[in-house]
Structure 1
Amino acid sequence: MSEQPWLALYPDTIPTQLTYEQKQVHAYLTEAAKNYPEKMAIHFMGKEFSYKEVNESSLKMAKYLQDIGVEKGDRVAIMLPNTPASVIAYYGILFAGGVVVQTNPLYTEREIEYQMKDSGAKVIITLDILFPRVSKVFKNTSLEHMIITGIKDFLPFPKNFIYPFIQKKQYGITVKVEHSGSNHLLTEILKISSPTPKEQSFNFEEDIAIIQYTGGTTGFPKGVMLTHKNLIANASMCDAWLYKNKKGEESILGILPFFHVYGMTTVMILSVMQGYKMILLPKFDVETTLKTIHKQRPTIFPGAPTIYIGILNHPELSKYDLSSVESCLSGSAPLPVEVQEKFEQVTGGKLVEGYGLTESSPVTHANFIWDQKRIKGSVGVPWPDTDSRILSMETGEPLPPGEIGEIIVKGPQIMKGYWNQPEETAATIRDGWLHTGDLGYMDEQGFFYVVDRKKDMIIAGGFNIYPREIEEVMYEHPAVQEIVTVGVPDTYRGETVKAFIVLKQGHHTTEEELDEYARQHLASYKVPRIYEFRDELPKTAVGKILRRKLVEEEKEKQQANKKLG
């Protein structure tokens, strides 16, 4: 049979091969501002910004970054939720010739410090409420400047007047930063008139646009280097997949955070490339999301299963009109079939599951959206210009349909490599193939199925969580002798983190104390939700803890509970 049987499934409306314009990612913003100057690029909590405004603001950011010393290839971190500032910062960094380093706003001081040191970032752009956290590690890193913005900076009146009071009530702090020294205010930067940043030389194949951090088999975060070609290729594939969408006419709901490559590519980059309007929400709140869809009428809604589950379980769902939604691509975690079916009934649109990794910009596979060639439970078929195979875990040879092995992928969206980690890069990319570490199989038609994620990774609420990182922190607790963390099934988050702990002899602690300790050192989504104390943990003959045995025990418990239920 053909090595690429899925190509026979492609409808005439989707090409199997694409041509990519050799442009920088930010060149598409220049183009959009020229073609759609007055069209709204962003809607944010009642205020809108045209493509002309976003482009000019990004150029002001670029000029300012160059003035404070950012040169071609320098890393600049963005630590922001989805706001107009996050878009302006992203494109401003690229206009300046810099490399974007996306940083999760939920990160603790320890996590921020590691990422800033590893990337060598010179500047960080962040929120006022995060200023104290970043300030504590600033001197321990390569950071030279901090650019500060606030949610209120982009709100309409009177929301911009009221918001500081809401913020103080919610977070318990009011932060005031002076525009001086190494601290810079975005509101002051945007006062620049007629910005003309210096143009930089450009290599489509080689120049890095972004370093996106992910975990790895070692548990330590690795910087994934994605080039302009990687990102443009993947956004172009997404556009080809969404072939019914009309350039300059669609609107995308931007809940997926831009500090994750999924939201960055399928919402922000795609929108700018195609002249769509982004309807941004800084965080996922079910009621706010429902009201936004009801009022703003987005046509495209990329998301994660937890988002769709939250919407479907809202007690007043029937009050809201979601019929504007035409297409949704779900990623980050497995999509339950019942969620897909119910969401399509409620909206009248299409919701399909896809697959990908940070290392692939991120999408490699997806189900067809408007065509009937869909198989429930499958992650679909490879995208245009993307090849995929299943390799035997024992021999490394390609497997026939139906047999489970490691999923490998090849295509123009595959990363350049890991930042400053040539050995990890060589181990992951071999002969141009990205070895995902995920287990799956392909059926006779060419549809792919993921049966297990990377051996140890936990996916909770769409976040990738690496047990080693949690364990490194918890081992520092004075009462902990041994710990292993695993993902256990959770009806809302998909998986949640459970910690198995052996205490040191003579020591005592409680779940509450461990929870408090974990929250001081880890982002909230990484904190274990369940603790189980044991006298000992299962181990191999050489003393290695058998994590998989604990996972199997948890699955058996779940099955036993279902039978009892």
Structure 2
Amino acid sequence: MSKYGEKPWLRHYSSFVPGELPAPEGTLLDQLLTRAKATPDAPAFHYFDVTVSYHQLDEWSTRLAAKFAQWGVGRGDRVAIYTQNNPAFLIGQYAAWKRGAIVVPLNPMFKEKELEYHLNDSGAKVMVALESLYETCAKSVVPVTCVQNVVVTHETDFLTEGHVAAIPMFREIVRAKQGDADDLMEVLVSMSADDSVCVANRPDDIAFLVYTSGTTGNPKGAMNLHRNVLFNATVYQTWMQMGEMDRILGLAPLFHITGLVGHVALSMQAGAPLVLFHRFDPQEVFRLIQMWQPTMTVASITAFIALMNHPASRTANLQSLTKCYSGGAPIPPSLTEQFEERFGVYIHNIYGLTESNSPTHAVPLYQRAPVDPQSGALSIGLPVPNCEARIVEVENPQREVPAGMAGEYAVRGPMIFAGYWNKPEATEKAFHEGYFLTGDVAVMDEGGWFYIVDRKKDMIIASGFKVWPREVEDMLYQHPAVKEAAVIGVPDAYRGETVKAFIAVKDEYVDHVEPEEIIQFCKKRMAAYKYPRQVVILPELPKTATGKFLRRELRAH
């Protein structure tokens, strides 16, 4: 048996986590129906200061499902959701599932061209959209897509006038009624909550069509099945000991796989209410933490950086967040140390992909991730229950590499998606002998801890030596002025490629640090072929909505 087959990571598991989890029965929709019947008045989620119960969520989603039924939405049809972290997202999701439809979550940062691509590629028949996004973007795009009907919602829906007046981000909000779209609040009043419009979901039905971030090439729609989603919601629940006494802080965007599974699905599976607040705003996050005392969150490291660098952080109390996790991008050890020093909260690492329905690896609750002594990388954790993980040669996935050697991370298990929407060739290329090839270069140590080295496509070859951007970025974060850092390779007449770094600096260092200082800082601490020869200081680095740096935009800079 290979080292990976022996699963050395199991000995590091928390005592309450088994090596294998039984396949959960039913779907998340079944969970909603069960909770709405057993504990109808219990909170399903909080939106700012307002609480919505399971009964209300069930009733409202049935009313919207009735409207979908009028529009001919049925099993297998696609319903796009183009909102921020608003109640309409949850209502629209469960309404779509009550008609047997597939939910297509869309990034609210999409502009016309991006929105058109996703709507046409998915073939969405109906869209639930934020009113402002419909007015500024979707309205002009819908006529050239398959979308036949639109429901619009406003960020202040479900809030009282008093609540709206007290929330700074809403003080200059103006409503603009859309005559060619149905208003969600009117639908919830006019339609009846008739359960006869609801159909059952099957575990092998597609729950979500979640598009990859498209950092290279066109985004692909990952077909995430109901059983995939429910299994990893159970993983979260078990790994983090989540229950009805917990509350989840909705830091991650709901359209992203982290938000879909680590927030929405986990909340319903564990019975832990979700705290939502339209969009990320550090001041509002601090206020709602004080109000609702959430115990768990998972988000990109850039969200935690923003909280740490906000002026209000010096008096903010985050002690309730005892189950704090971050994923989506590598985490420099120096940042976890700074965050813990500021708030007294340790950020556990977690790793997953769109195609794996969030986690395949996580650091056990209340344990600390080890640091790879060779690369300085913080471990992404251990493979979660039922996850078969191995490291294979980048050029030959048939061959495993031994512990301590870098290769491509490959994974299989009940969390892995069914394939890419209408892209059989891409699906076939993504798998080898049942293992999904992640494209991430990783290392497993003798103890079974995994470390992400980098994306294999981002590797830099300088003077014949391999340079991984993450290692250089970790060094950059050690400079006290650096707030954000991303590294790319650029052509070099002498070395073939050389390292170019882009940084954003903390407010107090603006106009007080020069690129040469950063170069010299790295030069003194890194091998000659690794340190950046070029450093560009930007006000802010371009990122996806989930905090991943857009290297393609940096390459065009």
Quote the Cα distance in structure 1 between the aligned partners of 2:335 and 2:192.
50
Q: Which residue of 2 aligns with 1:433?
A: 435
Q: Which residue of 2 aligns with 1:327?
A: 323
2:36 equivalent among 17, 20, 33: 33
Distance change in 2, residues 1:5/1:166 (3 Å): closer
TM-score (norm 1): 0.79
Bigger Cα displacement from structure 2, 34-43 vs 256-265: 34-43
Give the drift of 1:456.
4.4
Q: Is structure 2 residue 138 aligned with structure 1 residue 137?
A: no
1:446 equivalent among 445, 448, 463: 448
Q: Which residue of 2 aligns with 1:421?
A: 423
Could you report, residue by residue, the CA deviation over 1:319-375 in whole angstroms, capped at 9, with x for unpaired residues?
A: 222211111110111122232234334544442111111010021101112246755
What are the residue-to-residue correspondences of 1:16-415 with 2, within 5 Å? 16-132=19-135, 133-160=137-164, 169=172, 174-178=175-179, 183-191=181-189, 192-200=191-199, 202-204=201-203, 206-215=204-213, 219-243=217-241, 245=242, 247-371=243-367, 374-375=370-371, 377-396=378-397, 397-415=399-417
Give the drift of 1:167.
5.7
Q: Which residue of 2 aligns with 1:468?
A: none
- Aligned partner of residue 189 in structure 1, secondary structure: helix
Query: Contact 2:60–2:193 (CA<8 Å) still a contact in 1?
Result: no
Could you report, residue by residue, the CA deviation over 1:208-259 in whole angstroms, capped at 9, with x for unpaired residues?
A: 001001145861110010000110111111111112x3x2111110121110
Quote the Cα distance in structure 1 between the aligned partners of 2:178 and 2:68.
19
Could you report, residue by residue, the CA deviation over 1:262-281 in whole angstroms, capped at 9, with x for unpaired residues?
A: 01101111011111111112
Could you report, residue by residue, the CA deviation over 1:414-463 in whole angstroms, capped at 9, with x for unpaired residues?
A: 010000000000000222211001101100000000011241499xxxxx
Q: Which residue of 2 aligns with 1:549?
A: 497
Gaps of 5+ in 1: 459-485, 501-536, 541-545
- Aligned partner of residue 157 in structure 2, secondary structure: helix
Q: Which residue of 1 aligns with 2:506?
A: none
**Aligned residues with identical type, % of pairs:** 33
Query: Contact 2:66–2:192 (CA<8 Å) still a contact in 1?
Result: no
Query: Contact 1:407–1:440 (CA<8 Å) still a contact in 2?
Result: yes
Q: Which residue of 1 aligns with 2:532?
A: none
Count of residue correspondences: 485
What's the RMSD between the two structures over aligned residues?
Answer: 3.0
Letter in 2 for 1:193: S
Quote the Cα distance in structure 1 between the aligned partners of 2:3 and 2:442.
19
Query: Contact 2:60–2:188 (CA<8 Å) still a contact in 1?
Result: yes
Gaps of 5+ in 2: 372-376, 461-472, 503-514, 526-557
Letter in 1 for 2:426: E
Give the drift of 1:158.
2.2
Quote the Cα distance in structure 1 between the aligned partners of 2:310 and 2:214.
36
Quote the Cα distance in structure 1 between the aligned partners of 2:489 and 2:278.
30
Distance change in 2, residues 1:457/1:215 (3 Å): farther
Query: Contact 1:438–1:450 (CA<8 Å) still a contact in 2?
Result: yes
Distance change in 2, residues 1:420/1:492 (3 Å): farther
What are the residue-to-residue correspondences of 1:472-491 with 2, within 5 Å? 491=482
Q: Which residue of 2 aligns with 1:532?
A: none
Bigger Cα displacement from structure 2, 308-317 vs 58-67: 308-317
Quote the Cα distance in structure 1 between the aligned partners of 2:280 and 2:75.
35
Quote the Cα distance in structure 1 between the aligned partners of 2:98 and 2:193.
15
